[in-house]
Amino acid sequence: MTGRLAAVIGSPIAHSLSPAIHRAAFDAAGIDWSYVAFDVADGEASSALSAMRTLGIAGLSVTMPHKAAVAELVDRLDPAARALQSVNTVSWDGDDLVGSSTDGAGFVASLADAGVSVAGARVAIIGAGGAARSLVVALAQAGSDDITVLNRSPDKAEQAAALVPVASPGVISDLDRADIVVNATSVGMGDDDGSPCEPERLHDGQVVADLVYHPLETRWLRAAAERGCRTVDGLGMLVHQAALQQRIWLGDDAVIDTVAMRTAAESALATRN
Protein backbone atom coordinates (compact mmCIF):
# COMPACT_ATOMS: atom_id res chain seq x y z
CA MET A 1 0.00 0.00 0.00
CA THR A 2 1.88 3.06 -1.20
CA GLY A 3 1.24 6.60 -2.26
CA ARG A 4 -2.24 6.89 -0.75
CA LEU A 5 -3.94 9.96 0.67
CA ALA A 6 -6.19 10.26 3.74
CA ALA A 7 -7.68 13.46 5.11
CA VAL A 8 -9.82 15.06 7.78
CA ILE A 9 -12.73 17.39 6.99
CA GLY A 10 -14.30 19.88 9.36
CA SER A 11 -14.69 23.57 10.05
CA PRO A 12 -12.79 25.10 11.70
CA ILE A 13 -10.01 22.56 11.19
CA ALA A 14 -6.75 24.41 11.85
CA HIS A 15 -6.76 23.25 15.51
CA SER A 16 -7.08 19.56 14.62
CA LEU A 17 -4.47 17.15 15.99
CA SER A 18 -5.50 14.51 13.45
CA PRO A 19 -2.75 15.28 10.90
CA ALA A 20 -0.01 14.95 13.52
CA ILE A 21 -1.51 11.76 14.96
CA HIS A 22 -2.12 9.97 11.67
CA ARG A 23 1.17 11.00 10.06
CA ALA A 24 3.00 9.64 13.10
CA ALA A 25 1.21 6.30 12.71
CA PHE A 26 1.99 6.08 9.00
CA ASP A 27 5.64 6.96 9.62
CA ALA A 28 5.97 4.44 12.46
CA ALA A 29 4.55 1.69 10.25
CA GLY A 30 6.72 2.70 7.28
CA ILE A 31 3.64 3.21 5.11
CA ASP A 32 3.74 5.68 2.23
CA TRP A 33 0.48 7.42 3.07
CA SER A 34 -0.09 11.16 3.40
CA TYR A 35 -2.66 12.89 5.59
CA VAL A 36 -4.00 16.42 5.17
CA ALA A 37 -6.70 18.64 6.62
CA PHE A 38 -9.43 20.24 4.52
CA ASP A 39 -11.55 23.07 5.89
CA VAL A 40 -14.99 22.21 4.54
CA ALA A 41 -17.78 24.65 5.34
CA ASP A 42 -20.99 23.55 7.00
CA GLY A 43 -23.36 22.20 4.36
CA GLU A 44 -20.60 21.15 1.96
CA ALA A 45 -20.09 17.55 3.10
CA SER A 46 -21.59 16.26 -0.14
CA SER A 47 -18.91 18.06 -2.13
CA ALA A 48 -16.22 16.56 0.10
CA LEU A 49 -17.48 13.01 -0.49
CA SER A 50 -17.71 13.69 -4.22
CA ALA A 51 -14.08 14.78 -4.12
CA MET A 52 -13.21 11.61 -2.22
CA ARG A 53 -14.74 9.57 -5.02
CA THR A 54 -13.21 11.66 -7.82
CA LEU A 55 -9.71 11.89 -6.36
CA GLY A 56 -9.59 8.40 -4.91
CA ILE A 57 -8.89 9.57 -1.37
CA ALA A 58 -8.30 6.35 0.55
CA GLY A 59 -9.74 7.36 3.91
CA LEU A 60 -11.54 10.24 5.51
CA SER A 61 -11.81 11.43 9.10
CA VAL A 62 -14.90 13.51 9.80
CA THR A 63 -15.30 16.07 12.55
CA MET A 64 -17.79 18.82 13.32
CA PRO A 65 -20.01 20.01 11.78
CA HIS A 66 -20.25 17.14 9.28
CA LYS A 67 -20.77 13.93 11.26
CA ALA A 68 -24.55 13.75 10.85
CA ALA A 69 -24.53 14.91 7.22
CA VAL A 70 -21.94 12.32 6.21
CA ALA A 71 -24.05 9.61 7.84
CA GLU A 72 -26.77 10.43 5.32
CA LEU A 73 -24.40 10.57 2.34
CA VAL A 74 -22.39 7.34 2.51
CA ASP A 75 -23.54 4.12 0.88
CA ARG A 76 -23.87 2.28 4.19
CA LEU A 77 -23.15 2.55 7.90
CA ASP A 78 -21.49 0.29 10.45
CA PRO A 79 -23.64 -0.65 13.48
CA ALA A 80 -22.32 2.09 15.77
CA ALA A 81 -22.72 4.79 13.13
CA ARG A 82 -26.21 3.53 12.34
CA ALA A 83 -27.25 3.70 15.99
CA LEU A 84 -25.83 7.20 16.37
CA GLN A 85 -26.61 8.48 12.88
CA SER A 86 -23.14 9.98 13.09
CA VAL A 87 -19.93 9.21 11.20
CA ASN A 88 -16.33 10.09 12.01
CA THR A 89 -14.66 7.70 9.52
CA VAL A 90 -15.23 6.98 5.85
CA SER A 91 -13.62 4.02 4.11
CA TRP A 92 -13.96 2.07 0.89
CA ASP A 93 -15.52 -1.36 0.36
CA GLY A 94 -15.23 -1.95 -3.36
CA ASP A 95 -16.98 1.04 -4.92
CA ASP A 96 -19.03 1.78 -1.81
CA LEU A 97 -18.27 4.39 0.83
CA VAL A 98 -18.79 3.04 4.34
CA GLY A 99 -19.40 5.30 7.33
CA SER A 100 -18.13 4.25 10.75
CA SER A 101 -18.01 5.74 14.23
CA THR A 102 -14.86 4.99 16.23
CA ASP A 103 -15.27 7.64 18.94
CA GLY A 104 -16.96 5.50 21.57
CA ALA A 105 -14.84 2.43 20.90
CA GLY A 106 -11.79 4.68 21.05
CA PHE A 107 -12.81 5.77 24.53
CA VAL A 108 -13.24 2.18 25.69
CA ALA A 109 -9.82 1.35 24.22
CA SER A 110 -8.27 4.32 26.04
CA LEU A 111 -9.63 2.98 29.34
CA ALA A 112 -8.30 -0.48 28.55
CA ASP A 113 -4.91 1.07 27.76
CA ALA A 114 -5.02 2.58 31.25
CA GLY A 115 -5.88 -0.81 32.76
CA VAL A 116 -9.58 -0.05 33.28
CA SER A 117 -12.22 -2.58 32.24
CA VAL A 118 -15.81 -1.45 31.67
CA ALA A 119 -17.31 -4.94 31.80
CA GLY A 120 -19.89 -4.91 34.58
CA ALA A 121 -18.95 -1.37 35.57
CA ARG A 122 -21.41 1.29 36.67
CA VAL A 123 -20.72 4.34 34.53
CA ALA A 124 -21.99 7.90 34.95
CA ILE A 125 -21.67 10.13 31.89
CA ILE A 126 -21.95 13.89 32.33
CA GLY A 127 -23.31 15.38 29.12
CA ALA A 128 -25.70 14.18 26.43
CA GLY A 129 -24.24 15.51 23.17
CA GLY A 130 -22.66 13.58 20.32
CA ALA A 131 -19.61 12.50 22.34
CA ALA A 132 -21.75 11.26 25.23
CA ARG A 133 -24.04 9.36 22.87
CA SER A 134 -21.09 7.57 21.30
CA LEU A 135 -19.93 6.52 24.78
CA VAL A 136 -23.35 5.17 25.72
CA VAL A 137 -23.38 2.83 22.72
CA ALA A 138 -19.74 1.72 23.03
CA LEU A 139 -19.86 1.16 26.79
CA ALA A 140 -22.95 -1.01 26.45
CA GLN A 141 -21.29 -3.02 23.68
CA ALA A 142 -18.21 -3.46 25.88
CA GLY A 143 -20.22 -4.92 28.76
CA SER A 144 -21.22 -2.08 31.05
CA ASP A 145 -24.66 -2.98 32.38
CA ASP A 146 -25.43 0.23 34.30
CA ILE A 147 -25.00 3.53 32.43
CA THR A 148 -26.41 6.78 33.78
CA VAL A 149 -26.60 9.96 31.69
CA LEU A 150 -26.64 13.29 33.54
CA ASN A 151 -27.44 16.49 31.69
CA ARG A 152 -28.89 19.91 32.41
CA SER A 153 -31.58 19.22 29.81
CA PRO A 154 -33.48 16.13 30.99
CA ASP A 155 -34.96 15.47 27.55
CA LYS A 156 -31.48 15.19 25.99
CA ALA A 157 -30.40 12.84 28.75
CA GLU A 158 -33.46 10.69 28.02
CA GLN A 159 -32.66 10.66 24.29
CA ALA A 160 -29.06 9.60 24.90
CA ALA A 161 -30.08 6.93 27.39
CA ALA A 162 -32.68 5.55 24.99
CA LEU A 163 -29.90 4.34 22.67
CA VAL A 164 -29.31 1.17 24.75
CA PRO A 165 -31.43 -0.79 27.25
CA VAL A 166 -28.85 -0.60 30.06
CA ALA A 167 -28.76 3.22 30.14
CA SER A 168 -31.05 5.62 31.96
CA PRO A 169 -31.20 9.35 32.69
CA GLY A 170 -29.91 10.18 36.13
CA VAL A 171 -29.47 12.78 38.82
CA ILE A 172 -26.39 14.15 40.53
CA SER A 173 -26.57 11.68 43.40
CA ASP A 174 -26.00 8.85 40.91
CA LEU A 175 -22.35 9.92 40.79
CA ASP A 176 -21.91 8.46 44.27
CA ARG A 177 -22.42 4.86 43.17
CA ALA A 178 -20.55 5.06 39.86
CA ASP A 179 -17.36 3.09 39.31
CA ILE A 180 -16.43 5.31 36.36
CA VAL A 181 -17.37 8.97 35.95
CA VAL A 182 -16.88 10.64 32.56
CA ASN A 183 -16.99 14.29 31.57
CA ALA A 184 -18.37 14.25 28.02
CA THR A 185 -18.91 18.02 27.91
CA SER A 186 -16.55 20.82 26.88
CA VAL A 187 -16.40 22.18 30.43
CA GLY A 188 -12.75 22.65 31.39
CA MET A 189 -11.48 23.13 27.85
CA GLY A 190 -8.83 25.76 27.14
CA ASP A 191 -9.02 28.66 29.56
CA ASP A 192 -12.25 27.40 31.11
CA ASP A 193 -11.38 26.27 34.64
CA GLY A 194 -14.89 25.08 35.42
CA SER A 195 -15.88 21.58 36.48
CA PRO A 196 -18.70 19.43 35.08
CA CYS A 197 -19.66 18.56 38.67
CA GLU A 198 -18.49 19.52 42.10
CA PRO A 199 -15.29 17.55 42.84
CA GLU A 200 -16.73 16.82 46.30
CA ARG A 201 -19.13 14.40 44.56
CA LEU A 202 -16.16 12.18 43.64
CA HIS A 203 -14.55 9.70 45.97
CA ASP A 204 -11.63 7.35 46.44
CA GLY A 205 -11.79 4.25 44.27
CA GLN A 206 -13.55 5.82 41.31
CA VAL A 207 -12.07 6.15 37.83
CA VAL A 208 -12.60 9.69 36.57
CA ALA A 209 -12.18 10.33 32.85
CA ASP A 210 -12.31 13.60 30.94
CA LEU A 211 -12.80 13.84 27.18
CA VAL A 212 -11.19 17.28 27.24
CA TYR A 213 -7.52 17.04 26.22
CA HIS A 214 -6.56 20.71 26.09
CA PRO A 215 -5.30 21.05 28.79
CA LEU A 216 -4.29 17.44 29.39
CA GLU A 217 -4.91 17.77 33.11
CA THR A 218 -8.06 19.78 33.65
CA ARG A 219 -8.88 21.38 36.98
CA TRP A 220 -11.52 18.69 37.44
CA LEU A 221 -9.07 15.83 36.89
CA ARG A 222 -6.60 17.46 39.25
CA ALA A 223 -9.26 17.74 41.95
CA ALA A 224 -10.34 14.14 41.33
CA ALA A 225 -6.78 12.90 41.80
CA GLU A 226 -6.55 14.83 45.06
CA ARG A 227 -9.64 12.96 46.24
CA GLY A 228 -8.00 9.60 45.54
CA CYS A 229 -9.57 8.92 42.16
CA ARG A 230 -7.74 7.29 39.29
CA THR A 231 -7.79 9.72 36.35
CA VAL A 232 -7.73 9.25 32.58
CA ASP A 233 -7.20 12.26 30.31
CA GLY A 234 -8.99 12.90 27.04
CA LEU A 235 -6.03 12.47 24.72
CA GLY A 236 -6.25 8.69 24.98
CA MET A 237 -9.68 8.65 23.34
CA LEU A 238 -8.46 10.87 20.51
CA VAL A 239 -5.46 8.62 19.87
CA HIS A 240 -7.36 5.34 20.08
CA GLN A 241 -10.26 6.44 17.88
CA ALA A 242 -7.63 7.43 15.30
CA ALA A 243 -5.94 4.04 15.70
CA LEU A 244 -9.27 2.36 14.97
CA GLN A 245 -9.62 4.54 11.87
CA GLN A 246 -6.19 3.37 10.73
CA ARG A 247 -7.23 -0.25 11.21
CA ILE A 248 -10.35 0.33 9.10
CA TRP A 249 -8.31 1.89 6.29
CA LEU A 250 -5.29 -0.42 6.41
CA GLY A 251 -6.81 -3.73 7.51
CA ASP A 252 -7.10 -5.70 10.74
CA ASP A 253 -3.52 -6.95 10.51
CA ALA A 254 -2.07 -3.41 10.39
CA VAL A 255 0.49 -2.59 13.08
CA ILE A 256 -0.66 0.62 14.80
CA ASP A 257 1.81 2.41 17.08
CA THR A 258 -0.40 4.27 19.56
CA VAL A 259 2.65 5.37 21.55
CA ALA A 260 4.02 7.22 18.52
CA MET A 261 0.57 8.69 17.89
CA ARG A 262 0.24 9.98 21.44
CA THR A 263 3.79 11.38 21.44
CA ALA A 264 2.99 13.32 18.26
CA ALA A 265 -0.25 14.61 19.76
CA GLU A 266 1.48 15.74 22.96
CA SER A 267 4.16 17.49 20.91
CA ALA A 268 1.51 19.30 18.86
CA LEU A 269 -0.33 20.31 22.02
CA ALA A 270 2.88 21.62 23.58
CA THR A 271 3.48 23.78 20.51
CA ARG A 272 -0.09 25.08 20.74
CA ASN A 273 0.34 25.87 24.42
Short-list 83, 37, 43, 80, CA closest to 62: 37
Strand, helix or coil at 121? coil
Strand, helix or coil at 169? strand
Exposure string (b/e) for 61-70, b if CB count within 10 Å is 16 or more?
A: bbbeebbbbb
Would residue 156 show up in a list of annotated catalytic residues for this protein?
A: no
d(CA 193, CA 175): 21
CB 198 within 8 A of CB 182: no
Q: Cα–Cα distances in Å, from 78 out to 72, 90, 98, 217?
A: 13, 10, 7, 33
Helix residue spans in the chain (DSSP H): 18-29, 45-55, 67-73, 79-84, 103-113, 130-141, 154-161, 219-226, 235-250, 258-272
From the list 23, 66, 67, 262, the catalytic residue is 67
Positions marked active-site: 67
